[in-house]
Amino acid sequence: MEEKVTVVSREEVAKLSADYAEIMARETHHEHEIIRDKNGTLRWKENPTVNQILERVNLNDLWVLLSIMGLDKNSEAIRNLYRGMGYSISGYWEIFYWEVNNEIAHLYRATADSLIEHHIDTTIASLEETIEALKKMRN
């Protein structure tokens, strides 16, 4: 009999270990679902599009690009990438919260407000570029 993939609440995950509780306490700014896969492993719910892209792009090469762009393990874009990959919760903790792998883990402070502010800033910058392009076309 094949076991089903089930959604697991953040509260349930937080009760399993201090490491998991740390993730759940510090990542309240998104509602990415957590699942228990058919093997019993807790994972972020996969975004199939992310993994389709990663079938064509080497993750190590992508890391080089993201680093050049100034992103690090505390960057929400990188953490969101790993959540979208369907990374296990334990592996996610090792990469992003274990100070052996992320010496600046203690500095991670993503909040909904900071993400909204970043989105607004990038949207404004994009609109300004569009306005400039339209002005050039008009002249």
Instruction: Tell me if 125 is assigned to some domain.
Output: yes
Cβ-contact 23, 89 below 8 angstroms: yes
pLDDT, position 112: 56
Structural domain boundaries enclosing 136 = 111-139
My answer on whether 102 and 115 are in the same domain is: no
Token reading at 29? 């700014």
Which string of DSSP letters, residue by residue, matches 21-53? HHHHHH--S----EEE-TTS-EEEPP-HHHHHH
pLDDT, position 18: 95
My answer on whether 31 and 73 are in the same domain is: yes
pLDDT, position 62: 93
Instruction: Tell me if 135 is assigned to some domain.
Output: yes
pLDDT, position 16: 97
pLDDT, position 102: 83
- Which residues are registered as beta bridge partners of 36? 6, 42
How many separate domains does the chain show? 2
From edge to edge, which strands make up the β-sheet containing 42-44? 6-8, 34-36, 42-44
Chain segment 43-89, per-residue pLDDT in tens: 999 999 999 999 999 999 999 999 998 888 888 889 999 999 999 99
Instruction: Tell me if 134 is assigned to some domain.
Output: yes
Burial (Cβ within 10 Å: 0-12, 13-18, ≥19) of residue 20? buried
My answer on whether 130 and 95 are in the same domain is: no
My answer on whether 43 and 78 are in the same domain is: yes
Chain segment 105-120, per-residue pLDDT in tens: 887 876 555 556 556 6
My answer on whether 65 and 95 are in the same domain is: yes
Q: Which residues, other chains included, contact 131 with Cβ-Cβ below 8 Å and sequence gap of 6+?
A: none
